[in-house]
Structure 1
């Protein structure tokens, strides 16, 4: 069996190691002085003085911690991971907390990674602003196109990527429905491949660089009670983008994405939650390599390295059981999923579907925001990976 990638993000000074797992002490004392001090050390309050003067103002939180990661492709990486949680002045209980994660890393192989995926609610949730900002110089492994590519074709290639995708959605018709539009700009450059290797041999359009520039329409239904770690509600996001050379892109194509989630509060007393997710992605036209559907990630199909299988379309689903141990900060999860990539979704076959499963530990970093630190161990067909980060996978 080939060596498997183990990717770790150690946040909050490896809190799973330094915090004592003492069940009796945790139950008798809700927050020990050590935990409080540790939490406060990594938490900043940008509007603390204003919130002290006016109790109606939400106390904003910026939670930051060191990030250490390792994988064979990157060597050791060092950086900072953070979550910015806030509400605009004038927002009350009817407005959910806005979430803006920020991650910045630099590796010993002179690679870098800067990312923010945000979801911002304006006052009374009249508008939602969501999207992604990504700037990275990171490697991927390439095995070819299709859902049955062999391990023997494994080849690493490096590239630099800049992605900018803001979407503006207005509340319409009902409390939780938002409709809007946005833009998406995704450029790949500085590609470094193995001379005469699989990437150059297959020569998929855009393998040596590309730019996707287009406009998107979007619809969002979001009735989750808590954005970072929902215990009940629905989430459905649909986006469809048209990409043109006239807008500065190198390719003309369209991209459709669907993300459906549902959360069931099985036992409010015991904090047991059952969560479901379905993801679909389809691209048509003259799409470059960077816009194909990449199978595997730290969010869905955990256990498979991102890009282990690549094709135009992707279907994947997962279910996760989440349990918290009494009133302590500790919890655990078990998850199970399945998915695959296809040339065309209507050609999907049950025989090729790939399973994944795994378990995880949780430690509640912020009880008021239900914000967890998660450690997951995911397994696929002949592969496994570890994931450690802030907030749930979905």
Structure 2
């Protein structure tokens, strides 16, 4: 499936607003706020045409000399299929980086294809040989999603390490699986068969839990790093007394490293990303299983549609070469990237690392604010079996 997103008035309507521009910085107050309200239009087979805004904001909660830049990225979109897509994702560093607040809030009235579980799920719908009477391959789903994730982390002394806790809530509702194929055989949908086998509803379910988190934050600017590294370990516990339909636990690992290739041009670098999401105990509802493109900013798996691969556990890796396109300016840049993901599934008897789904591509970067490194990113990726996609976003992919 191809996903195409482009921004209206790419340069003419870019607007940068300085809310404060003083040399006196107030602790835990918004300083040097800069925001870019981007009018946006998008299109993909699941949503049709989308219209709205994709604003981005950066600011400091203290003196920039000893406080990292905070950032927020939002989406406010309406589609021709009468769908709504609202989201707000933020990383906020309080004064002197003593605390980090990480937020991921979403409200979707939307639809999305699912393809079944495991790395071997095909594009074209067919009967699952491992589960007779059940579809695998592309199947359409309508659903609503309410997500509220908020994490608070405290810095350990003067180090780069943080410890903290978070609350994560997901509610999927009004779920309806269907196929657009006429005269297709009467088979069960992957989503419904999986949920029924594990005692979940096929129409509505809740995953509610707390997370225990450890972070190493060593990047210079989180939205577009030039150097150093970042690591996250998050153990999530989803007990029934917090509202989860069934108890479960998961482990998420995320590591990113940025290798400079030139001291003079910091933008000339190689970035690498490793990401793992593993079911540790219990069962998860189908749409809460680890899936490509469902990381916080939806950047994994360029070349594949969001949700194209899903399983009880996933491992993902990506490497990207970033470089400037101008001799003495930083406005334009380019990138080439490669990635690969692997998914396990007990239903299809697939184990992690038995099969990989690679992708590769290239992209263009336009830096619209050099101080804060706010960047428009346009990428095209190619994957296996005819999968490909075009992606336009604000800030680097990772």
Identify whether the pair has TM-score above 0.5, normalized to the shorter chain. yes
2:155 matched residue in structure 1: 171
2:81 matched residue in structure 1: 109
The match for 1:250 among 232, 238, 245 is: 245
| Aligned ranges 1:181-330 → 2 under 5 Å | 181-194=165-178, 197-199=188-190, 202-204=193-195, 205-270=200-265, 271-283=267-279, 284-296=281-293, 299-325=299-325, 326=327, 327-330=329-332
Distance in 1 (alpha carbons) for counterparts of 2:102 and 2:353: 34
2:360 matched residue in structure 1: 357
The match for 1:381 among 378, 381, 384 is: 384
| Greater helix share, structure number | 1
Which runs of 5 or more residues in structure 2 are unaligned? 126-137, 180-185
SS in 2 for 1:202: helix
Pick closer, same or farther for the CA change 1:272–1:92 going to 2, 3 Å.
closer
1:61 matched residue in structure 2: 34
* Number of equivalences: 361
Distance in 1 (alpha carbons) for counterparts of 2:66 and 2:228: 15
Contact between 1:317 and 1:338, CA under 8 Å: does it hold in 2? yes
Contact between 2:194 and 2:286, CA under 8 Å: does it hold in 1? no
What root-mean-square deviation, in Å, do the aligned CA atoms of Structure 1 and Structure 2 show? 2.1
Contact between 2:313 and 2:352, CA under 8 Å: does it hold in 1? no
1:33 matched residue in structure 2: none
Q: How far 1:176 moved relative to its partner?
A: 1.1
Distance in 2 (alpha carbons) for counterparts of 1:388 and 1:144: 27
Contact between 1:6 and 1:70, CA under 8 Å: does it hold in 2? no
Distance in 2 (alpha carbons) for counterparts of 1:333 and 1:367: 18
Distance in 2 (alpha carbons) for counterparts of 1:229 and 1:349: 30
Distance in 2 (alpha carbons) for counterparts of 1:201 and 1:234: 41
Q: How far 1:308 moved relative to its partner?
A: 1.5
Distance in 2 (alpha carbons) for counterparts of 1:348 and 1:71: 30
Contact between 1:338 and 1:356, CA under 8 Å: does it hold in 2? yes
Q: How far 1:144 moved relative to its partner?
A: 1.6
TM-score for both structures, normalised by structure 1: 0.87
Pick closer, same or farther for the CA change 1:249–1:392 going to 2, 3 Å.
same
Distance in 1 (alpha carbons) for counterparts of 2:156 and 2:102: 16
Q: How far 1:135 moved relative to its partner?
A: 0.7
SS in 2 for 1:124: helix
1:372 matched residue in structure 2: 375
Contact between 1:207 and 1:288, CA under 8 Å: does it hold in 2? no
Pick closer, same or farther for the CA change 1:349–1:128 going to 2, 3 Å.
closer
Larger mean CA deviation between 177-186 and 140-149 belongs to: 140-149
Q: How far 1:200 moved relative to its partner?
A: 6.3
Contact between 1:126 and 1:171, CA under 8 Å: does it hold in 2? yes
1:143 matched residue in structure 2: 115
Distance in 2 (alpha carbons) for counterparts of 1:244 and 1:375: 40
